[in-house]
Amino acid sequence: MSVAAQIRDGLLAKADAIVHRAADRLDALIHPDFIYVNAAGRSFDKAGYIETYCASGKIVFAEQRISQLSVVQESQGVAEATFVAHDRFIVDGQTIEATYQSLCVFVASPQGWRWIAGQTRTAG
């Protein structure tokens, strides 16, 4: 399987884990040294990301679709993915539908490609 296909599968697995609030599955996809900056400019480490987007119920994802995926493997063991995320989630009882542009960096590990860094911004 190509690196691009493996990264696509990892992103789809991440989306599925968030929607199903499967923190253990999400944990397995994320590198221990993870850092993420969301569209509001807030930074998260691995534990904070899993708590906020999966476990706490503060944000509950109903759907996350991915389009316009582009994967680049610049050096052995590192891959970058850019894509558009189409999200539908609930915050404080309000359903929000939004589109974001995302950059994710992955590193190869014995367990497969793991998400180590990302940044998202509002599309448009």
Dihedral of CA 101/75/27/7: which sign? Answer: positive
Percentages helix, strand, coil for the chain, rounded to the nearest 5?
A: 25, 55, 15
E strand or H helix at 78, and its extent?
Answer: strand 78-91
pLDDT of residue 82: 97
Which sequence spans correspond to the domains of the chain? 3-122
pLDDT of the chain along its 124 residues, tens only?
A: 899 999 999 999 999 999 999 999 999 999 999 999 999 999 999 999 999 999 999 999 999 999 999 998 778 899 999 999 999 999 999 999 999 999 999 999 998 999 999 999 998 7
Sequence-separated (6 or more) residues with CB below 8 Å from residue 34 = 44, 45, 46, 49, 115, 116, 117
Q: Does CATH number 3.40.50.300 belong to domain 3-122?
A: no
pLDDT of residue 74: 72
CB 120 within 8 A of CB 101: yes
pLDDT of residue 1: 85
How far apart are alpha carbons 25 and 121 in whole angstroms? 25
pLDDT of residue 75: 80
Strand partners, 70: 82
pLDDT of residue 7: 95
